[in-house]
Chain A
């Protein structure tokens, strides 16, 4: 099958000479399917945040690229991710967010699982009132757990099970932000929102990681955060983004402000960074708050952005928090027309993927080069398997 093979030879050239990803990577179903395997299932992808399941027994079902998953905080407090199906007949186990008070009971034949995923009961499996059978080994039939890891409250999953350990795969960005390795407190209901955007998820990454567009798309930033105050962040094949040297803390009229992350260091007094951790998580850190955006790719041209704001202390000024949420929501909404416009633009069949500003676009080129590398590696593996 050659229909989904795109020519990526131009993409991995130097930024001065490269073209961006071909249109098919934004509009073609078969390339979307290919990228699902190569860019999302095979990597550590962002799924949700641990704050979605704050208490033991909290269970949230969701679909990630068509795969039914269940996020569960077990009775010991650990967050786990399972495929949301019963090992008996593959029935969906949990179909809406709920509190698991005892066990997860399959609504079909009532096989029950503990919050750790163990199969704990198999009613009538050996006939009416006979709840065991020699051929049914419960210890082999626990829920299918997906490899997961929590970092910066984001639940990262490796669905293929083949990625290196999270700490190795993400060692660079973990080290870069070691000073922010502090407890994060989700701001609560007023500090989460989602944006449903008619774009391919990669365009949201691409727009996020460069500062080139800021003065044009976010003119409100020009008064204090000018283009020349920003710098590029690039770690080949890992992440890219931008930083600013003039972060200004939000302050209420009476001078109230959020508490800083403890001992975060003077370096961060006026510095802030915004990094797209490949594939689909957009993170931001500041001395006094942080955010995480988990991109949920739904189709070639539909993405849901799940946005969460975090603080250094469990209790924060509610008015200030709401102002902060509103400020970020405005910024992220200002980006919608560009990511949707680029998506529509990908149907112009003479477009060659575009040319980059060698100075301003290198974080975006870094992402494209990663995409091309992962897709090519995936294709090579597939060819070898054939």
Chain B
């Protein structure tokens, strides 16, 4: 992870900025996957992105969860906190994912 990204994460934690935390941890996950192919490292960051999205009710939560599920890191059953919205977003994401966005 770059020092810039690390510093931005610390600042987001300090400011309790959930939107930034979701975005930055997602970036870190993507970076780990792209640069090293380290699934464990990617899922570590992805987990943080998902948890902050889940806590804040962010729209990204279902998609992040689906990525974790795809790697066997989260339960496939959707128990999200806003079932209707989350499920509809999840199905939208899965539809696009099956179109080739993720494996």
The verdict on B90 contacting chain A, using a C-beta distance below 8 Å, is no
A120-B80 in contact (CB<8A): yes
Total of A-B residue pairs, C-beta within 8 Å: 69
Interface residues of A in 115-170 (CB under 8 A from B): 115, 118, 120-121, 123-124, 128-132, 138
The verdict on B93 contacting chain A, using a C-beta distance below 8 Å, is no
A129-B41 in contact (CB<8A): yes
The verdict on B92 contacting chain A, using a C-beta distance below 8 Å, is no
Closest residue to B80 on the A side, CB-wise? A120
A129-B40 in contact (CB<8A): yes
A121-B51 in contact (CB<8A): yes
Interface residues of A in 91-126 (CB under 8 A from B): 101-105, 110, 112, 114-115, 118, 120-121, 123-124
Q: Do most interface residues of chain B lie in helix, strand or loop, or is the interface mixed?
A: helix
Chain B residues with CB under 8 Å of A138's CB are 75, 79
A interface residue count range (under 10 / 10 to 19 / 20 to 34 / 35 or more): 20 to 34
Q: Kindly state the separation between the CA atoms of A156 and B54 in the bound complex, as whole angstroms.
A: 31
Q: Kindly state the separation between the CA atoms of A55 and B74 in the bound complex, as whole angstroms.
A: 30
Chain A residues with CB under 8 Å of B75's CB are 131-132, 138
B55-A112 in contact (CB<8A): yes
The verdict on A329 contacting chain B, using a C-beta distance below 8 Å, is no
A120-B81 in contact (CB<8A): yes
Of B2-10, B56-64, B95-103, the one touching chain A: B56-64
Interface residues of B in 7-62 (CB under 8 A from A): 39-44, 46-48, 50-51, 53-58, 61
The verdict on A378 contacting chain B, using a C-beta distance below 8 Å, is no
Closest residue to B75 on the A side, CB-wise? A132
A102-B79 in contact (CB<8A): no
A114-B79 in contact (CB<8A): yes
Q: Kindly state the separation between the CA atoms of A115 and B82 in the bound complex, as whole angstroms.
A: 9
The verdict on A192 contacting chain B, using a C-beta distance below 8 Å, is no
Q: Do most interface residues of chain A lie in helix, strand or loop, or is the interface mixed?
A: loop
A131-B68 in contact (CB<8A): yes
The verdict on A36 contacting chain B, using a C-beta distance below 8 Å, is no
B58-A102 in contact (CB<8A): yes
A120-B54 in contact (CB<8A): yes
How far apart are A309's CB and chain B's nearest CB, in angstroms? 33
Chain B residues with CB under 8 Å of A75's CB are 81-82
Chain A residues with CB under 8 Å of B58's CB are 102
Contact check: which of A101, A102, A123 meets B47 at CB < 8 Å? A123
How far apart are A92's CB and chain B's nearest CB, in angstroms? 16
A129-B46 in contact (CB<8A): yes
How far apart are B8's CB and chain A's nearest CB, in angstroms? 20
- Could you list some 5 contacts between A and B, CB below 8 A? A102-B82, A104-B55, A120-B54, A129-B40, A129-B46
Question: Shortest 4 CB-CB distances between A and B: which pairs?
Answer: A102-B57, A129-B43, A101-B57, A129-B44
Known: A103-B54, A121-B54. 10 other contacts (CB 8 A): A110-B51, A112-B51, A114-B79, A121-B50, A121-B51, A123-B51, A124-B47, A128-B40, A129-B44, A130-B73
